[in-house]
Structure formats: structure tokens, C-alpha cells
Chain A
């Protein structure tokens, strides 16, 4: 089980993108992808982050390792606020903060061999010689379960699962402490998903890694995470231990998500909570609770003030007026 020391703390993190309207003379639109998000990730734990497409979970992951610059807020890593770092300083901590990307087909440079892709970080961040780097590359391939003789192949010569293994080897090359897994298995066949997930779990134990695991498949997140956060429209709605959140979801949005998990048990007649309407546009957020436009329990106050994420039982936080 995870130690209870935070490795990364996000405080009031926000990211707003400016998008120009395509019409001539159109107004600038501000897409509020992430709004005032605060949470901790403990050492050696896996924090799962779930939510619909476009809810800001990938943006949150990229903010944490500073692939994106936050609009406001701070990210405390190892006692330092890396949100304020310049690009040069960021490259200094880059080897400790890594990411595994979602799409293994487009995220590997088609002109580099597998070995070059995974050893390039070593070329920049270490003073290893060429042979040392190659040795390290073979070792990484071994960790992720790819045969050594594949080292000189190009990405297009691999299958999806193999490419994702290359992506994982690349992220591991610098022995990072924290890895953002940005939907690492959603582009893979179901049969390959579990292999890659098992690999991710195995590597965590072996290298004492801390993960932020982003996914939209709830089953996957439950399997891999210690705690789970649920995001909706750029805000975290609920956060709890992964058993707890599946057994006792508190937030109406979480309840509807959990009820949507497909079940093979015919006898188990669950109450499906079906949401009505669409997700509001992130350029024009609803006032108050972001979820109030679709909530079954919506009260008048819900549209007035945004509820804060509050602890309702030990380790279980929820942002909903129903529990105040």
C-alpha cells in the first residue's frame, strides 16, 4: 500500500485555452479545460482519473508534469513549485516526471528506430557512451517484454501493443519517479489491454513508481488504482479509495457513471441512472456546480455557488451540496 507522503500536490490548478472563432472577425473564446483543481498524489500510489471525453483529465495530467503551462495555481513537487519553472528549469526535472501517451500509433516518431526512440532521453540527460546507451536500451526492452532483436525496427513494423510497450520503455528510460499514464490502453485491443496493464503494474512495483492513471474505462481504473478521482467539466467532483468509490458513490455524477458499467450478470438488475442532455460547453460553464444542469437532485442553491471538494468520511471527498 502507498505511503502517506504526497509526491505531487496540485493547488488551485487551472488551464484556460484561447481559441479563435473561425468566423471572420469572430470573438476569442476561452476554453476552460481545468478549473481550480486541487489534489495530492501520494508516493507509490496510483491515482485514477476518470471522466467523459473533454472533461480535462488529459490536460490535468499534462499540467502536472508541465507539458502544458498552467494558467494559474501551483504544482508542488519535491517541495518546489514547478508551476513557476521556466522551460529550462522544466527540462531539469523532466527526467523525474514522465508520461505514457494514449495513441501508440501517432506518438512515436516514424523516422526513428525503436532503440533510438527509447534511448534518446539518455542521450540528452545523461553522459552515457553510445554502447552504454545501447545496453540500457536492451535492458529497457527486456523490462517491457520486447525481444532484443526488435531494437532496430521502426515503429510501423510493430503492433499496437508492442508500440505501447516502446512508449512505456521510453518513459522509463530516465528512471522517473512519477508517470502520467494518459489512457495508455484505450487505443489497444481488449486482448492486449490486460497485458499492457499488467506490465504497468509490474513496473510500478519494480521501480517504486507513482502513477496518475487517466482513463475513461471505469473497469480499467478500478483494477489499477488505489484512489480514484472523478472529473466533470474541468473540476473534480469526487475522490475516494477505489473500492469505496465503486461501492458507495456519493456524487450524483459518479453514481450515474458507476451504473453505466456493463455487467455480465443477468440476475443483477441494477438501477441505471441515465443522464439527460449534453455536457455543457467548456467555453461557457454553468454557474455554480458544473453538474447542476443535468443533476437529478438539483436544488436552487446548486446554480449559485460552486461546491468545494470536502471530506465527508475519512479519505472520501465529494463536491456536492447534498453532503454539506
Chain B
């Protein structure tokens, strides 16, 4: 087991290195010289050249690349041009916002998605099943940024039930301990802050969850349909188990592997920041940080952010694979 984990982590090195390299090259090719962005469009050529020199951007690309890799090995992801803060520190400070939103969305998505999927599989081809399938398809295929604007328009602008964007209200902001506002407000017993945090999280959370519900539901339904037809389900019925136990404890448990894979993939994607949703809702997380970095030609920010995304994806995949072992006794590492 430990050997397997070590092997997988070693295999992750070329993946992360490859992504860092690609992002490094793409940023140098397609992003404008950040010197002009820092100084303004009308800056004199001399000043721009001096700043470029100062930032080390007039060196050949391969030299810059080697310098960056050397820095990276020492745990230094560089400094943001605009905030002059270390990228690593900024990324870490934004992770809780992203993780909190991702967990919120995926928990809603998994609970609702698995429940609906099981119901649809048990009542295959009923009107409820058909409605859920069409609804799921709409949920998966609806662009999230558009859905975000529609939710905002409905619940924030017209109904005024929920705040349109941001993560907290300055008046009732919880004291930051872990950075996860729900946990922080519970620890400090700050109930108004908890209520306010949940209200801010509801719109972006649902915006993400609607897509997750769709895909998790469809996966659950199809694997459940397959599992329900297995011989050992017939055996379970022959034991005289109630239908509820047959479905939930015999069928669903065996159907969990593909479902866990989808949930893991969703979570991996969301932990690295739901770029569109965070941007639409001005959610101060990793996704928005990377988008801002791209807009500002902030090389170090984009490179560091993308490396984090790659790392998280690799780790999530590994976790899902390890989970298989506990879900299916036939799988051993």
C-alpha cells in the first residue's frame, strides 16, 4: 500500500512538471509584456525596458525557465507582480474559500444526485425517471456562467433574498481561524456570521451543484440499473430482505465505485477552483485568482496556480483509487 502510494506520487512528478512547462511557454508566447500593464499603456519605452530588465524578462526563455524551476524546487513559486506577495502564500490563503465552496456544492450534488439516481433506477421509465433524465441533461449542459447570472438575477436582484456576490458581509464577518467561514463561525459561536456565510454560499454553491447533481444522478442511475440485474441481488431477495435493504445495502454499495469516481472527479475539478463560477460571483478563491493572473499577465500567479490545480487533480485521483480498495474487496494494492 505505502509502496503503491509512493509509486503514484513519483509518477505525479512528470505530470506536474509537464503542466508547469506548458503553462510557462504559453504565458511567454500569448501574454503581453507585464511591464506595460504595470506602468500603463503610455509609459515610455525606456522605462518599460528598464522594468522588463528588472523583472528578468529579457533573458532567453530557457534561462527564465531554469531559474523558475530552481526556485520551485526550493518551494518558492515566485512573487505576484501586482500584490508583491509570494504566490504560494496568496494561493494558500485562497484555498479555504475554494474548498469550502467545493465541498458545499459536492455534498449537495452527491446527496441529491445519488438519491435521485437510485429512485430513477428503481422506477425505471416512470414519468419521474423521464423528468429527472431530461432535467439532468439540462443541468449538465447548461453553461455555468449563464446559470450563475440567471440565479443572481432571480434571487438577488428581483427577489432580494440572497446577496448577489462576494463571500462575506463586512458587518458580520467571522473571525478567521481556519479560513473556512462555516467552521470559524461555529467555533466562535458567531451564529449571525454562520447564517450570513451560508447565504453568501447558497447561490454559487447551487450554481455548481446543479451540474454535479445532473452527472452524479445519471451515473448512479445507470450503474444501479446494471447492479439491480445482478444475480446476487436475486440472492438478497431470496434471503427475504426488504426491498429497501436490497436496494440500499446490497445494490447501492456495489454500485458505488463508478459513483465515487464521478464524485472524486467533480471534487478534484472544484478544489482547484471553479473558474467561471468564482469569477461570476466574485468568490475570492483560487479560480478567480488564476483568472485575475491571466488578465494581469502575472506570470508567477498563473504558473503557480496551474501547478496547484495539477497537484490537486493528481492527489484526488490517487485518493479515489485508494477508496476503491475499501469499496471493493477484490481490489488490493
- Is chain B's binding surface mostly helix, strand, loop or mixed? helix
Binds B, one of A73-81, A106-114, A274-282: A106-114
Query: How far is it, in angstroms, between the C-alpha of A108 and the C-alpha of B231 when the chains are bound?
Result: 8
Q: B residues 311-333 with Cβ under 8 Å of A? A: 327-330
Count of chain B residues near A, Cβ 8 A: 21
Please tell me if B235 contacts chain A, counting CB pairs below 8 Å: yes
Whether B235 and A170, one on each chain, are in contact in the complex, defined by CB atoms closer than 8 angstroms, is yes
Please tell me if A101 contacts chain B, counting CB pairs below 8 Å: yes
Binds B, one of A31-39, A90-98, A296-304, A310-318: A90-98
Binds B, one of A5-13, A118-126, A127-135, A233-241: A118-126
Whether A108 and B238, one on each chain, are in contact in the complex, defined by CB atoms closer than 8 angstroms, is no
Please tell me if B241 contacts chain A, counting CB pairs below 8 Å: yes
Q: B residues 213-270 with Cβ under 8 Å of A? A: 230-232, 234-243, 245, 250, 253-254
A183 to chain B, nearest CB (A): 12
B300 to chain A, nearest CB (A): 48
A140 to chain B, nearest CB (A): 13
Residues of B with C-beta under 8 A to A113: 329
Query: How far is it, in angstroms, between the C-alpha of A171 and the C-alpha of B234 when the chains are bound?
Result: 13
Please tell me if A221 contacts chain B, counting CB pairs below 8 Å: no
Query: How far is it, in angstroms, between the C-alpha of A101 and the C-alpha of B253 when the chains are bound?
Result: 22
Whether A109 and B330, one on each chain, are in contact in the complex, defined by CB atoms closer than 8 angstroms, is no
Residues of A with C-beta under 8 A to B242: 91, 124
Please tell me if A154 contacts chain B, counting CB pairs below 8 Å: yes
Whether B232 and A106, one on each chain, are in contact in the complex, defined by CB atoms closer than 8 angstroms, is yes
Most chain-B CB neighbours within 10 Å: which of A87, A94, A99, A111? Answer: A111
Whether B330 and A124, one on each chain, are in contact in the complex, defined by CB atoms closer than 8 angstroms, is no
Residues of A with C-beta under 8 A to B239: 94, 120-121, 124, 170
Please tell me if A103 contacts chain B, counting CB pairs below 8 Å: yes
Whether B231 and A154, one on each chain, are in contact in the complex, defined by CB atoms closer than 8 angstroms, is no
Partner of B253, one of A67, A111, A170: A111
A-B pairs, top 9 by smallest CB distance, nearest first, are: A94-B240, A106-B231, A107-B231, A109-B232, A154-B329, A121-B239, A91-B240, A107-B235, A156-B330
Which residues of A line the B interface, CB within 8 A? 65, 67, 87, 90-91, 94-95, 98-99, 101, 103, 106-111, 113, 120-121, 124-125, 154, 156, 167, 170-171, 174
